[in-house]
Amino acid sequence: MSNGYYENTFQIAIAFNENPVYKSGKQKSGAAPNIVHSLDAAHLMLVVHRADFPVTTVHDSFGCLLGDMDKLFRLTRETFVELYETDPLAGIMKSIKVGIDRVDRGSLDIRLVLESEYAFS
């Protein structure tokens, strides 16, 4: 060991552009997908946290053993409804100081997801 590092180790240096040029078009087009992705991740976290059985996750998908499938089926829907009943989009819009009235909203009764056979695949 020399200089605090073990032999055969690598040190990674990360450089940051001190004067980045932001492209507003790319930022605008990336906002909605990033919000959806973060809400998917929040939903996944709720399912895994509440599950009393092993859950496997890959990116934004989750699975379980066949014997636990009925429980995962129900838990996925319950946590989805719980998350979206809080209207997370309104909270996000408020935090960036944009009125929710600028968003076209549908009329889905989120509680119908609890009884939907095909809400998730």
Would you state the pLDDT for residue 6?
66
| In a domain? residue 19 | no
Segments of the chain scoring below 70 in pLDDT: 1-8, 121
Per-residue pLDDT of 56-80, as tens digits, reads 998 878 899 999 999 999 999 999 9
Q: What is the DSSP letter of 66?
A: G
Would you state the pLDDT for residue 4?
63
| In a domain? residue 61 | yes
The pTM of this model reads 0.74
Would you state the pLDDT for residue 60?
78
Number of domains into which the chain is organized: 1
| In a domain? residue 100 | yes
Dist. CA 86–CA 96, nearest whole Å: 17
Domain that holds residue 49: 31-115
Contact of 81 with 50, CB cutoff 8 Å: no
